Every structure is written in structure tokens, then in C-alpha cells.
Structure 1
């Protein structure tokens, strides 16, 4: 039976690759909706990028809804220095998508879909958590309807600041609401996503796949890898990790931990404080991904790209 998901995103090359993996022939996921949020770039550009990826992958009937255009409290913080001014630089995808967003706010889509469900929808937030927090605040009954939140964000170190990962830093107040909501959370932070690197040999394998989707991914990764030069062996495949988990959970290893989000620290705003040793005595609230089988992960991703038609 297909697993129902809603992808909440800010595409972003790695967001685009997460959608591509979820829509592929190796996936048993049923995408109920794609919602967008301000993050890597503004929400308008992120929405256009989500629509462009839907055109590429044939997701013609999946509703795409635009969401929050800024964080709950702080000023917007973008990452165009990583993803380019469009948020999806490096590809030759048409700039104007054929598909159009629905005339409904992402927060209302989340609430409507969850309340109408049998508690069988997993939320996959791979951008800032603003939409999810707003939905929880607007309609708290949805928490009991969320099967799982499989999210990309946080970690025991940062990439936006020394202590904070971008998605959490971009709206730490929203993240705190989500982490304290009581919903079951599976967290893919930098500790594990930095084990999913698009090294030159993997990129070469990918470039050998002959179809339009694989070509687009190769172009995305070629551009995106530029942000990692001199620091890593390749670009980190952050956002495909939660999708990979939902398709093939055995690829990952876990710890059950307590995670709290810092919202007041001068140097630690946006930090996810991970209590591995139980030193706070607080109940665990997160399944924390600590390791992945990189070979299995890449085999899954390459098989996903091969599943798309050559036409």
C-alpha cells in the first residue's frame, strides 16, 4: 500500500532531488500535496521551482500550494549564495512552468488534508518549519492526525552558524513549536546528511544515465557542488534523506533522543540541542538519524533516476 506524504519545501536543488526521488519508479510514496515556504529564496520563487520540478517529473495532478512568505518572528534569511538567485540555478528547465499553484494557502491545505485523513499522512518538511508551526497553532487537532514528521534540519553542528543548520536557523521559533508539539518526529540533521555526499565518482555515474530527469539532476548537482568545493568531497544530499528513509528505512540507524531548539542564545540561536546521554531527564521526542549506508543510499537514488523514461 502506498504511503501518503505531503512535502513541505523551499526548492532548492536538494529539495528538487527529494521530489524527484519521491515521484520515481522505486518509490512507494503517494504525494498528497506539495507546499512551499520561504527559505532558500523567497516563497514565490520556491513555488515556481516546485512547479518546474512537477512539470519535469510528470506530477501534473499533485496540488502545489504556496505558504508562508517569512518566518514567524525573525527577518527572512535566504541561501541564494548556495542555490543561486532563482533558488534552482544550474538547470535548463523552462523558467515558466506549465503547472500552476492552487488558490489555497499551504497552511490550509495541510490542515484540510490532515483532518480528512485516517492519521496515515507523513509530513516531510525539508525547508524551514514555518508552515507546519502555523498549521499546528491554527488547528491543534492536526497533531493527533500526523502519522510522522520526517524532516531535514538541525544536527549537532551548524552550516548557517557554528551551531545552527539553515532550516532551523531560518525560523527557530517555528521549529520550537514543532519539536514541542508531541507529534512523532524523525530528524535528518547534518550529522547524517553529510554522509550522503555527491562525490565526483557518483556524479559521473549519474551523468551516464540518459533521460531528461537524470540530466536535470546532473546539472543541479554540478552547480550545487560549487558551494561545497574545498570543504567536502562532494555536495551533501540533505533533502533526499527523509524521502530515502520513507522508501527504504533500513538504510539508516537511529537514536531516540531529546531535542530542544534554542531561540534566545546570542551565539546559539537556531541550535538543536541533542541530549544523547539523557542528562536533562526530559522525555525523548525525536528519532535521530545518526548513520546511513551511503552505498545503499546512492544505489536507491541512481535506480530512481534510471526509472524515468528516456523520452
Structure 2
């Protein structure tokens, strides 16, 4: 059983990731969802997280609102991809259950300080601001962290917000720098991977054919959200970036990668937000990231369909 906290900025693909996690209670004990500004402002990501929680019938899982702005840079959003409401293709309503009291950063501090050593996995699906703030507030939280698994970065693929930068890192590269410097066990699932696991029409049809609301919602969200990437990159289908993090936790045998040394460029200029991966070890530095570079696309979508079938 993985003891899990999901830090997220829903966001279309974040919504799919949350549903996948909440449909897998035998493998993932989801203690809380923490939200951050990223794809859309934090008020919207917090509402969306609560709405997805409601769809999954998991309103007992607390949702804590976190950082509204990056550490140092001006806020940047991805509404051109995710729409103003963050979840295209589905009806949005105000969720029944409210946010948990308190803020996400203090929740992370309190929970990780109280946790057994190396017991909590953090899944980071958006900018890494909340964790960076928690580490600055209480460096001792490292003791409670088993691993941090993040959808972040790009190397051979190139970026999706600038020619070289992946959005989550571009939105707060200073936070990613701080998390890297902390020495926590860190896994990145970059665009190099996620752009190979595509929601082809036949895979979307499989989700729609599940015959439940979860399958219909996920099919609609992905189909609408994917149009941006299909048009920009000429892909045959759209990626479902953040859901790969949850799939990696559930079925690591579907993925492979390598340990490498990574830096995030937080200098102003063309490289701002770039993940500089020393793929061939030319710098001779010790590895600080496990870089997941390959995945079984059919296996990923089979897993997604099988778990969504469990939901209403």
C-alpha cells in the first residue's frame, strides 16, 4: 500500500489522474489532495479538485488549497490548453463539500513531520511550489518522504510552453530548483514519455464504451483538451500527462528509465524553465533524478479503463 498525497493544479489531465488514483484504493491510500496555481488560478484548481473528488464518491478525502503564486516569477497559466475553467468538455458546478481548513503548505509540514521515516509518497502534478515552501518552512519534512514523483521536464522532446521548457517547470522553476536541492528521492515523468502515450481515437472509444459517468467524463475531457496538442504537434492523439504519474505508482512495470543528473534553468532568457538532463553523464555528477523515458501505451490505457470501470 502506497501512502500518498497528491499535489495538483486541475487541469484536464490532473482530473484524469485524480480519478485513476481514487479508483485504486487497494493500492493507494490517498491521505489528501493539495492544490496549487498552475494550469488555472488556485481558486479554480481547488474547486476542480473538490469536484473530481465528488465524481469519484470520495468526499472524505480532504482538499487543501495551497500557493496562489510561484516563489519568485509572475504567475503564468495554461488556459489556452485547459480553458478558463480548467476542465474542458464537461459541465462544471460548485462542489458539495468544502475545502479543508488550513493551507496546503502547513498540512504538508504537519503531516510529513509526524510521519514515519520514508513513509509518504508525494505525487506532484503541477508546479512544485507547495513542496518548496514546505521544505523552506521545515527542512525536517524530508525525513517523512519516501519518494517524490513529478510530471515535469523535457529533454529530447522539447518544451510545450517554450521551445525548451515543460509547463510545470516553467511555471515555477525556482520551486523545482529547491526540491532538487533538498535531496529528496525524485522521479520525473517528462514530455519525452508522455508524448508517446497518446489517447488515439480507438483508446478514447474504449473509455466511452465503459458505460459509466467516469468513462464518459474522461473521454470528453481528453477529447476536448487534446485538440490543442493534436493541432500544434500533428499528433494522432493527445497526451494525458499527469495520469502517467499515477499509472507509474500503480504499475511501474509499464515504464522504464534511467538515473541521471538534472538541473533546472531559472535564469531569465530563452532557457528559462528548461530541464537540463545530463542524459549521457558527461558532467560526471551523481544522479539526482530517476528519469522515466519509456512506457507501454496500450498497458497504460488498459489500466486507465480497468480502474475507471470501478467508478459510477
Aligned to 2:159: 158
Residues 49-80 of structure 1, C-alpha deviations (whole Å, 9 max, x = no match): 00000000011111100000000111000000
Q: Check whether the contact 2:222–2:240 (CA below 8 A) recurs between aligned residues.
A: no
Kindly provide the CA deviation profile for residues 84-139 of structure 1, in whole angstroms up to 9, marking residues without a partner as x: 1111121024x110011011110001111111111311000100000010000000
What's the counterpart of residue 129 of structure 2? 130
1:287 paired to 2:290: yes
Contact 1:26-1:300 at 8 Å conserved across structures: no
Q: Distance in 1 between matches of 2:198 and 2:38?
A: 22
Q: Quote the residue 1:176 is aligned against.
A: 177
Please give the TM-score of this superposition, normalised by the length of structure 1.
0.96
Distance 1:59 1:81 in 2: 30
| Structure 2 unaligned blocks of 5 or more | none
Corresponding position of 2:28: 29
* Distance (whole Å) between structure 1 residues aligned to residue 303 and residue 26 of structure 2: 9
SS at match of 1:290: strand
* Match among 256, 260, 267 for residue 257 of structure 1: 260
DSSP-derived class of the 2:277 partner: strand
- Residues of 1 paired with 2:273 and 2:53: CA distance? 31
Q: Provide TM-score, normalisation by structure 2.
A: 0.96
CA distance in 2, matches of 1:187, 1:206: 27
Describe the superposition over 1:288-308 as per-residue Cα deviations: whole angstroms up to 9, x where unpaired: 001001111111011011122
User: Which residue of the partner structure matches residue 111 of structure 1?
Assistant: 109
Once the 2 structures are TM-superposed, how far is the Cα of residue 163 of structure 1 from its aligned partner? 0.7
Paired residue total: 307
Residue aligning to 1:209: 210
Please name the residue that 1:42 is paired with.
41
Question: Structure 2 CA distance, aligned partners of 1:59 and 1:195?
Answer: 31
3-state DSSP of counterpart to 1:299 = helix
Go from structure 1 to structure 2 and tell me whether the alpha carbon gap of 1:89 and 1:46 turns closer, same or farther (over 3 Å shift): same
Aligned-partner Cα distance in 2 for 1:15–1:34: 11
Q: RMSD of the TM alignment (CA)?
A: 1.1
Deviations 1:251-299 (A, max 9, x none): 0001000010101151100001000121112110001001001111111
Check whether the contact 1:54–1:99 (CA below 8 A) recurs between aligned residues. no
Matched, 1:233 2:239: no
- Does structure 1 retain, via aligned residues, the 8 Å contact 2:122–2:147? yes
Q: 1:97 to 1:106 in 2, by over 3 A?
A: same
| C-alpha separation in 2, matches of 1:190 and 1:87 | 20
User: Structure 1 unaligned runs (5+)?
Assistant: none
Indicate conservation of the 8 Å contact 1:26/1:303, yes or no.
Answer: no
